[in-house]
Structure 1
């Protein structure tokens, strides 16, 4: 036992004699102390932060009875009235007055030997079969009717004066006054007399107030884009109206100025003519008294000469 104790003591002595032993010991102790300090501070900060967060949360007032409005309802995105798996494409486009001639030609509908400008788009399946027609936006069904020319018609009203219009339907699933969500099935695609050459299809329109807009332009766009487009359209109309009014005022004032100039010049010309040519009522200027008497003196001498000559002839 003594030998073992002596060996262990000698090992510790040799270990203490190493140059790196005490620096390593100091570093180890410092690391432990630093870890303990950091752990203590982190625990204190977490508690303080939790108290601060709780105070901020308590200062906020929430009404439990107030219903939260989903963001999707605040600014819903316009969707296609046809499901993606239906494989239906646009066969008639919206007639845009600013489009090229080819696009405008594809936006004409032939009926009764006359061409009409399309105010919406027509969807039809490649195989000519029927497919489900979906609500492009959430809203209220305001009209369900059977039209002799356009087939079965469904109209939805949405927020901010936006309406969607669906025609050439069959097997209608909704009724007037019903609330529908975006993507709900309204009916199935059918046929109509107005576009009978399209066979089975659905006619879809988006209206901003009383104005029909191009549905393809606003697909996958928020409803607020419709409002911005309406505001821009109103400003353009106001600018055009103001320009037309100014032009009309300019056209109205121009003849008045011409007439004024003509009236101002006419009296001057008339006065000049009046001064140059005397009127018929005015007497011609009479000659002077001397000019009138000269012929009279000659006339008096002439008889006297005649009398003297006659007397001379008589005496002879």
Structure 2
């Protein structure tokens, strides 16, 4: 009985296996036929490529800043370069000399109000002066003898006095020097600068434009020439070199 049941079971299963095998064979044969057609592989390749391109476009489109950064940066850079060129040209023609008053040096006056009430204590050391004047224009600094680079004015009574701008110009430097006292420098253009040392009660600041005769300070003291007491040390410089102030002042 059992043998009959097993036999019947095998008979029932056999068609199913045969049918399944036939179906698998038919499917495999159908796929081979499908891929055997010439248009199928290119179509699949094109579809895959389209999907990849679409994904890349979506990815890039999600970050708009990445697309606009380069051109915007390029435009700004070009504009900045143009501004730099213009700024460079402007600076070449607009240095300190351009903003300073170009004064007529021949109109320079002594930097004191009442010259007749004062006396010149030490003159400028001029190589063209007489031997006596050159000797009188030597000063002792520590243990060294040096030529005097300016003119010293003092009041016979030891009083202070107003210090005036010898020529119109722009205040280019103000400093409290450890040995020369307060210093004021005024630029007049064309490389001409007047220097005022041993000052007190300074009344101007760097950048101020002053007219000729403007009170800029008062005579004071300095450690360098302390033996003079209250005095004014006055210099003129041309392109950084000290020159005789008397050469610029009409007597």
TM-score range, shorter chain: 0.5 to 0.7
Q: After TM superposition, list the pairs within 5 Å mapping 1:31-180 onto structure 2.
A: 77-84=107-114, 87-180=117-210
Structure having the higher Rg: 1
Within 2, Cα distance between the matches of 1:167 and 1:97?
23
State the 1:90 CA deviation.
1.2
Question: May I ask how many residue pairs the two structures share in their alignment?
Answer: 150
Q: After TM superposition, list the pairs within 5 Å mapping 1:293-304 onto structure 2.
A: none
- Paired residue secondary structure (2:112): coil
Choose between structure 1 and 2 for higher RCO, CA contacts under 8 A separated by at least 6 residues.
2
Q: After TM superposition, list the pairs within 5 Å mapping 1:23-34 onto structure 2.
A: none
Look up the match of 1:183: 213
Q: TM-score, normalised by structure 2?
A: 0.56
2:202 maps to 1:203: no
CA displacement, residues 82-140 of structure 1 (integer Å, 9 cap, x when unaligned): 11267112111111122222111211122213222111111111111100000000000
- Paired residue secondary structure (1:158): strand
Q: Which consecutive unaligned segments of at least 5 residues does structure 1 have?
A: 1-71, 222-316
Look up the match of 2:243: 213
Q: TM-score, normalised by structure 1?
A: 0.45
Say if 1:120 and 1:75 are closer, same or farther in 2 by CA, change over 3 A: closer
CA displacement, residues 165-184 of structure 1 (integer Å, 9 cap, x when unaligned): 00000010000000000000
- Decide which structure has greater strand share: 2
Conserved in 1, the CA contact under 8 Å of 2:109 and 2:167?
yes
Conserved in 2, the CA contact under 8 Å of 1:80 and 1:136?
yes
- Deviating 4+ runs (over 4 angstroms): 72-76
Say if 1:213 and 1:200 are closer, same or farther in 2 by CA, change over 3 A: same
- Paired residue secondary structure (1:156): strand
State the 1:151 CA deviation.
0.4
State the 1:78 CA deviation.
0.7
Q: Which consecutive unaligned segments of at least 5 residues does structure 2 have?
A: 1-101
Within 2, Cα distance between the matches of 1:104 and 1:74?
29
Within 1, Cα distance between the matches of 2:184 and 2:104?
24
Return 85-94 or 131-140, whichever deviates more.
Answer: 85-94
Conserved in 1, the CA contact under 8 Å of 2:236 and 2:244?
yes
Say if 1:98 and 1:183 are closer, same or farther in 2 by CA, change over 3 A: same
- Decide which structure has greater helix share: 1
Within 1, Cα distance between the matches of 2:136 and 2:105?
32
